[in-house]
């Protein structure tokens, strides 16, 4: 789905209930009351739309990038929370049962307890949900447990929010809007069911097996998987997948990793995994033959949409080399004649992944590979320091490189500074692709 369609579609989805409310043409109330209702209607629609921004739907992530989708999920949740917090405080009409003749509830807010309690519960839970997301890392909770709790509370917020709208809402009392809420709730629940039930069921017929686990660099491993099913394995160089290694197909223990192999090299997949936390630190103990499940491919870090770019610049920091290795391998395997430059930054020499292969790729394909070390060993004759504006200018300032495609992967701070430096060199935003390895 084209990116230009995604934003209007989102806006239609979240504004539809308000538009239907407005179309009811109910007699006017104090402006503050209608602002309060509007905030509630938009916030509830946004909360339900959050279920589509899980970073798992390819139609969305393929264009926008899963990190951008996750960022949108986080920012929009905070916006919705702001509106939800304001919602009850904006009302100015007195809270009492309206007279029986006031069927449109103009003279008072008709909040019986049956309609009020789901709203209060959703109001409190949504605040808790956002606070839990912001404080995720500080809480020390295991990511998988956090994600399960996050999902369960989100479902409760969505269900209680819709119940509140149906029971207490002036506009949602209208049958059409009522059905729209139920349909949106069904879409939200369907999105979760798809990710955690339907998709794993389909994956069950596509098992993978660990073929080998080998050291790739300091605290970094190369994991190779082979499919145990017939049929195509489709992905594009530079994409990533959610890996479940050695668990049941429905397990929530799955982590995202970039695919470092090239699709043209065969049906197997390779990943370069750096030890970081509880799961990645156990990668070295993984045994060949272990069952694996691959959910994907996802991500937009692929040069396929940039076939018209006259050259390819790859800029990696640390384990960010993984997807770029896939792209270089694919270029070599398919005989892509375009010039390519890889700037590969690491702290120490021991952290360099696939050094010999990169040299072979440089010699065979003609790619230029530049290693950059911030803590070089004695006698290091290569580039030192960080991948900074000066180094980027040295390699990419030439006018004929302005239309190249630039693929960035590395620590968040590096992505920000390199992206800004490239834009400073006049490289169009649309030619700079980057993907973050953390959703924070």
Site residues, ligand FAD (CB under 6 A): 66, 137, 143, 240, 254-258, 271-274, 276-280, 299, 319, 322, 435, 437-440
Q: Cα 354 from chain centroid?
A: 27
- Taking the C-alpha atoms of residue 440 and residue 419, their distance in angstroms, rounded to an integer, is 19
DSSP letter string, 228-247? SSSS-----TT-EEEEEESS
By C-beta, is 66 or 261 nearer to ligand FAD? 66
By C-beta, is 165 or 301 nearer to ligand FAD? 301
| Phi, psi torsion values for 278, nearest 5 degrees | -55, -40
Q: State how far the alpha carbon of 239 is from the alpha carbons of 16, 58, 307, 433, in Å.
A: 34, 11, 16, 12
By C-beta, is 284 or 311 nearer to ligand FAD? 284
Q: Pick from 348, 351, 330, 349: which is nearest to 340 by CA?
A: 330
Q: Give the count of beta carbons closer than 10 Å to the beta carbon of residue 161.
A: 27
Tokens standing for residue 198: 């339907």
Q: How far apart are the first and last CA of the chain?
A: 26
By C-beta, is 24 or 251 nearer to ligand FAD? 251
Query: C-beta of 301: minimal distance to ligand FAD in Å?
Result: 8
Query: C-beta of 90: minimal distance to ligand FAD in Å?
Result: 36
Query: C-beta of 214: minimal distance to ligand FAD in Å?
Result: 15
Query: C-beta of 256: minimal distance to ligand FAD in Å?
Result: 4
Query: C-beta of 135: minimal distance to ligand FAD in Å?
Result: 12
By C-beta, is 115 or 320 nearer to ligand FAD? 320
Q: Cα 225 from chain centroid?
A: 24
Residue nearest to ligand FAD (CB): 277
Burial of 11 (0-12, 13-18, 19+ CB in 10 A): exposed
By C-beta, is 319 or 432 nearer to ligand FAD? 319
- Taking the C-alpha atoms of residue 352 and residue 346, their distance in angstroms, rounded to an integer, is 7
Query: C-beta of 376: minimal distance to ligand FAD in Å?
Result: 23
Q: Does residue 4 have a cis bond before it (omega within 30 degrees)?
A: no
- Taking the C-alpha atoms of residue 141 and residue 118, their distance in angstroms, rounded to an integer, is 28
Tokens standing for residue 246: 């050695």
By C-beta, is 47 or 260 nearer to ligand FAD? 260
Query: C-beta of 363: minimal distance to ligand FAD in Å?
Result: 25
């Amino acid at each position: 789905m084209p990116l230009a369609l995604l934003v209007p579609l989102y806006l239609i989805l979240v504004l539809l209930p308000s538009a239907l409310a407005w179309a009811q043409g109910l007699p006017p109330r104090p402006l503050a009351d209608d602002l309060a209702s509007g905030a509630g209607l938009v916030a509830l629609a946004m909360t339900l739309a959050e279920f589509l921004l899980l970073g798992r739907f390819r139609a969305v992530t393929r264009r926008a990038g899963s990190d951008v989708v996750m960022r949108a999920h986080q920012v929009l949740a905070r916006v919705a929370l702001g509106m939800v917090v304001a919602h009850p405080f904006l009302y100015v009409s007195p809270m009492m049962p309206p007279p029986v003749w006031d069927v449109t509830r103009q003279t008072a807010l008709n909040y019986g307890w049956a309609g009020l309690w789901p709203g209060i519960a959703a109001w409190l839970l949504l605040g808790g949900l956002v606070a839990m997301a912001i404080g995720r890392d500080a809480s020390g909770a295991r990511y998988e447990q956090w994600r399960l709790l996050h999902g369960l509370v989100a479902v409760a917020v969505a269900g209680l929010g819709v119940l509140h709208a149906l029971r207490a809402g002036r506009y949602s009392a209208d049958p059409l809007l009522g059905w729209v809420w139920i349909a949106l709730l069904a879409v939200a629940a369907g999105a979760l069911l798809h990710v955690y039930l339907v998709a794993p069921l389909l994956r069950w017929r596509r098992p993978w097996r660990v073929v080998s686990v080998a050291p790739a660099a300091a605290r970094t491993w190369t994991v190779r998987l082979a499919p145990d099913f017939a049929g195509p394995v489709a992905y594009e160089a530079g994409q990533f997948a959610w890996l479940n290694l050695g668990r049941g197909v429905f397990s929530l223990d799955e982590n995202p990793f970039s695919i470092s192999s090239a699709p043209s090299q065969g049906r197997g997949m390779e990943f370069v995994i750096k030890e970081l936390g509880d799961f990645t630190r156990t990668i070295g103990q993984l045994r060949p033959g272990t069952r694996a499940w691959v959910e994907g491919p996802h991500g937009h870090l692929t040069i396929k949409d940039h076939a018209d770019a006259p050259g390819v610049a790859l800029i990696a920091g640390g384990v960010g080399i993984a997807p770029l290795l896939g792209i270089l391998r694919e270029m070599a395997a398919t005989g892509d004649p375009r010039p390519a430059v890889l700037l590969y930054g690491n702290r120490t020499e021991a952290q360099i992944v696939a050094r010999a292969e990169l040299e072979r790729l440089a010699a065979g394909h003609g790619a230029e590979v530049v290693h950059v070390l911030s803590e070089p060993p004695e006698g290091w004759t290569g580039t030192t320091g960080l991948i900074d504006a000066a180094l980027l200018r040295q390699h990419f300032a030439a006018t004929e490189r302005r239309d190249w495609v630039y693929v960035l992967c590395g620590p968040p701070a590096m992505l920000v500074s390199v992206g800004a430096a490239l834009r400073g060199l006049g490289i169009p935003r649309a030619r700079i692709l980057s993907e973050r390895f953390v959703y924070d």
